[in-house]
Amino acid sequence: MYRLAGKVALITGGNSGIGEATALLFAAEGASVVITGRRVAAGKAVAARIRDSGGEAHFVRADHTKPRDCERAVAATLERFGRIDILFNNAGIVTSGTAESVSEENWSRTLALNVTAVWRMSRLVLPQLRAAGGGVIVNNASDWAVVGAPDALPYAASKGAVAQMTRSMALDHAAEGIRVNAVCPGDTWVQRWSEEGYFPDGDPVTREEAMRASEAHIPMRRFAEAEEIARAVLFLASPESSYVTGHLLLVDGGNTAR
């Protein structure tokens, strides 16, 4: 009945946006969910919402640019639920800039989270997936993993690296029953876009402003809701995609179809 019954899922950056929507959906589909993030109140609130609706959830404070925090997140998941079947490498930041304008600091912190943390968490979780008799990694890339992006060099470079890690890890672990895929969202409204200071190099935007921008360039004339991305992640994490590995699943309203 439930697509993830009996499974344990670890979701990085699960305290808002696409990670939060995925945590809620996975829990509704029967998974025990561990969410991580730096913002304790937000993370605890998501875990409490899941538990209040009858699910199993636990929040672990973790900054995934720190190796010790990554180790702690994996250890806490095992302590709480005894196994890991699914890793959703979701935590990421958006940064802008060209080759000339991007600062050393923004370049380094983008790669530290969007690339290195994906590798680090995968390395820590792979033995657990093997121990569980097989498992799934889903990486959150972007439509900008497959096409160039103006004024977003560090972000596009980082997501291109996620795409190649996805394909390469899929090959390395296919024979072990471990599938590795990526979801590639296009513009997806998340509440934090409207928060002061969220974009390191830009102003916050309202939902209406974001929709106007998406209407102008997306074939489907709207941005995605986080739940629409979560449903694609569920497909990649569930047995419904049992013969899918090394795939980049574009969920972008047609943005990269032209």
Positions annotated as catalytic residues are 155
Binding marks (x or -) toward ligand NAD, 11..40, rule CB under 6 A? --x-xxxxx-----------------xxx-
Q: Can residue 187 be called a binding residue for ligand NAD (CB under 6 A)?
A: yes
100 exposure class (CB count in 10 Å sphere: 0-12, 13-18, 19+): exposed
CA–CA separation, 34 and 7 (whole Å): 11
Closest to ligand NAD by CB, 116 or 177 = 116
Q: Can residue 253 be called a binding residue for ligand NAD (CB under 6 A)?
A: no
CA–CA separation, 66 and 71 (whole Å): 9
Q: Which of residues 44-103 bind ligand NAD (CB under 6 A)?
A: 62-65, 90-94
Closest to ligand NAD by CB, 113 or 232 = 113
Residue of 32, 37, 68, 63 whose CA lies nearest to 50: 32
**The one among 185, 241, 249, 250 contacting ligand NAD by CB under 6 A:** 185
Q: Which of residues 213-242 bind ligand NAD (CB under 6 A)?
A: none
Residue of 256, 251, 253 whose CA lies nearest to 18: 251
Break the chain down into helix, strand, coil percent, rounded to 5: 50, 15, 35
**The one among 110, 166, 188, 241 contacting ligand NAD by CB under 6 A:** 188
